[in-house]
Amino acid sequence: MKTSTLHQLQSRGVTFVAPETVYVASDVNPERIAPGVVIHPGCRLSGADLSIGPDCVIGAEAPATVCDCQLGAGVHLAGGFFERSTFLDGFKAGSGAHVRPGCLFEEGSSIAHSVGVKQTVFLPWVTAGSLINFCDALMAGGTGRKDHSEIGSSYIHFNFTPHQDKATASLVGDVPHGVLLNQPAIFLGGQGGLVGPCVIAYGTVIPAGQIWRGDIAAPGHLVAKPAFRAPINMPYDTRLYPSVKRVLRNNLRYIGNIAALDMWYRVARARFMLADPYAAACHAGARRRLAEILDERMARLDELARKVERSLACAPDAAAAGEHRAFVEGWPALKAALAAWLAARERAAVPEAVQAAIAAWPSADYLSAVQSLPADAAQTLAGWLEQTVSAASEPCHRCW
């Protein structure tokens, strides 16, 4: 009789605290689960892409369902639901987590109990408190475990508009500077929210209880303002759109940042991750997550264009009609240009100065190597990534 996957894992040195309570699907590849992993009672593991690195602990606080995820070393998933997401070394999730597909959590990042995320990217050490919903956003900032960007408990990233679209992804920090792990931390105070799509600068402090609408361009500011200056009671048709210029600008910048992070994985992070099978699985998983995010952002802009077209047909706002018409008419060409640019990224040549800066990295662990970069090398790498971010907006300028 064929040995069950669970028994194969036990023979490899995986510890099941109560094996009779654990479900391991037949599509799980035992060779992708490291010896020494600990699986607590009531857990469910599935997916051919599932990979769990050494010293990981699953379900220590409550049963955990883990499907097609990639876990680096020392990852702790205390309990909840985790699907098609990638967790690098040292990530920790409290119980009650709801991690839907498309998430990438880098080294030392964490979420406390009862946090919901989807297509969410945390760069190293970013920390989220409890009772949070933070979907469709990238967050960076901070220089270590004791100097990290923070999302306070009971925080929400609002990613669904009254017009029923989700062209709302927000950048809290950015990729070109965030990957260098030398930027001031960002603080989003608890019992608050961010109305996407926003771009938030490093060093920003938004106090507790604040619902923030809009961008913050100047770094290192404490910001707060009243929600509304006066009561509002007026007719409102959710089919009609106000200005979409800022929405489009922020979406293109988000696409550029995700493309830049994928470039960073392809060129810079590969040298630190491909030699170890579990890290290599995380590298492949991270790039899949970023590709999924790019596909989602393009689909959401496509949806936005259709809704703005219907807005024009209903009763165009005279002040916004020209801008709306330019977006609707220009979107097919812009979409094609963006798709062509995204498809060409894999073949894009890496500048010699960038290759030299990366080749000079010490053979230390990734985090130490990045933080030991000389200032001129860091500037070269940031400039290279910023060019990728800027390139995402170029098709817009060419098409309109």
- Taking residues 299-327, report their average pLDDT: 88
Q: Look at residue 315 and tell me whether its pLDDT is greater than 80.
A: no
Average pLDDT over residues 168-178: 98
Tokens of 218: 């100047």
- The number of beta carbons lying within 10 Å of the beta carbon of residue 342 is 18
> What average pLDDT does the structure give for the chain?
94
Query: What confidence score (pLDDT) does residue 2 get?
Result: 52
The pLDDT value recorded for residue 73 is 98
Say if CB 340 and CB 394 are below 8 A apart: no
Given pLDDT bands bounded at 50, 70 and 90, which one contains residue 393? confident
**Is the distance from CB of 200 to CB of 183 less than 8 angstroms?**
no
Which pLDDT band holds residue 27 (cuts at 50, 70, 90)? very high
pLDDT of residue 229: 85
Q: What is the mean pLDDT of residues 191-197?
A: 97
pTM, rounded to two decimals: 0.96
> Is the predicted pLDDT of residue 167 greater than 80, yes or no?
yes
Query: Distance between CA atoms of 17 and 280, rounded to whole angstroms?
Result: 28
The DSSP bridge pattern shows strands 170-172 and 199-200 to be: parallel
Residue 345 is predicted with a pLDDT of: 85
Range of lowest pLDDT (116-120, 159-163, 255-259, 346-350):
346-350
Q: How does pLDDT run across 44-101, given as a tens digit for each residue?
A: 999 999 999 999 999 999 999 999 999 999 999 999 999 999 999 999 999 999 999 9
**Residues 292-311, mean pLDDT to the nearest whole number:** 96
Q: Rounded to whole angstroms, how far apart are CA atoms 205 and 189? A: 8
Residue 24, pLDDT score: 97
- Whether the predicted pLDDT of 398 surpasses 60: no
Per-residue pLDDT at 363: 75
Mean pLDDT of 345-367: 89
**Rounded distance, CA 194 to CA 133, Å?**
11
* 142-144 and 147-148 strand pairing: antiparallel
Phi then psi for residue 202, to 5 deg, are: -65, 150
Task: Output the pLDDT for position 228.
Answer: 86
Q: pLDDT digit string (tens) for 3-12? A: 699 999 999 9
Q: Is a pLDDT exceeding 80 seen at residue 396?
A: no
* Percent of the chain at pLDDT exceeding 70: 97
Q: pLDDT at residue 29 above 90? A: yes
- Non-local CB neighbours of 2 within 8 Å, separated by 6+ positions: none
Return d(Cα 3, Cα 214) in angstroms, integer.
Answer: 57
Q: What is the mean pLDDT of residues 339-360?
A: 91
Tokens 């703005």 belong to residue: 308
Residue 318 has pLDDT above 90, yes or no: no
Residues 273 and 283: beta-carbon distance below 8 Å: yes
Q: Please, where are the H alpha helices in the chain? A: 5-11, 175-178, 245-264, 270-273, 277-314, 321-344, 352-359, 366-371, 375-391, 394-399
Contact criterion met (CB below 8 Å) for 323 and 243: yes
Could you give the domains of the chain? 23-213 (2.160.10), 254-399 (no CATH)
**Band of residue 400 on the pLDDT scale cut at 50, 70, 90:** low
pLDDT of the residue at 1: 30
Give the list of residues 6+ apart from residue 18 with CB closer than 8 angstroms, or none.
Answer: 40, 41, 42
